[in-house]
């Protein structure tokens, strides 16, 4: 079965990311093995490896090796991000920057949430992931008021629920028929 990581990027105590993750997991659980990845629990320090991940050097820290192995074990990932001050959380940027080869070719869906349906953060995150050669399949923005409350109560539109289902199908097709 395809192993799908669902990455919760917010580390704030009052976040709604867990509820968005549940929405994704519920849609994906029949077709994927889910690895729920919570950056608050992982608590990576600021990047502290002696070499750039792009160099291909082995990771020297236990947390760097563990993080690389966890992402490396995935067949695909859905990255959930709030829009904080027009961008993504620092914890997410740091977690992404710890790795390079692990992102290359990884089928990736991006789900942002916030005011304006995360319209500022999704293009930024997509540009970053494309720069790392991730295979970005989709970007879905959930907006406060139209898709969820500020407290995280979800009432996602049918259109966005269908977009999630389409993204999951596309991810599964990418994993099952990789490009040679």
Domains of the chain, CATH where assigned: 2-176 (3.40.50.360)
Which among 2, 39, 11, 7 has a CA at the least distance from the CA of 20? 7
Name the pTM for this structure: 0.96
In the chain, which stretches have pLDDT less than 70?
A: 178-180
Number of neighbours of residue 77 by Cβ within 10 angstroms: 23
pLDDT, one tens digit per residue, over 15-57 is 999 999 999 999 999 999 999 999 999 999 999 999 999 999 9
The per-residue pLDDT for 176 is 87
């Amino acid at each position: 079965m395809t192993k799908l990581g669902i990455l919760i990027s917010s580390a704030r105590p009052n976040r709604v990311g867990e509820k968005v993750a549940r929405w994704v997991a519920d849609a994906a659980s029949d077709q994927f093995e889910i690895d729920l990845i919570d950056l608050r629990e992982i608590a990576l320090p600021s990047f502290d490896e002696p070499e750039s991940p792009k160099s291909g050097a082995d990771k020297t820290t236990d947390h760097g090796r563990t993080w690389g192995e966890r992402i490396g074990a995935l067949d695909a990932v859905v990255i959930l991000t709030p829009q904080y001050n027009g961008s993504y959380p620092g914890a997410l940027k740091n977690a992404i920057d710890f790795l390079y080869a692990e992102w290359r070719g990884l089928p990736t869906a991006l789900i942002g949430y916030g005011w304006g349906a995360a319209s500022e953060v999704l293009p930024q995150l997509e540009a970053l992931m494309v720069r790392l050669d991730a295979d970005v399949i989709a970007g879905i923005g959930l907006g406060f008021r139209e898709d969820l409350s500020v407290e995280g109560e979800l009432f996602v539109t049918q259109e966005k629920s269908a977009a999630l289902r389409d993204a999951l199908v596309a991810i599964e097709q990418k994993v099952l028929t990789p490009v040679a």
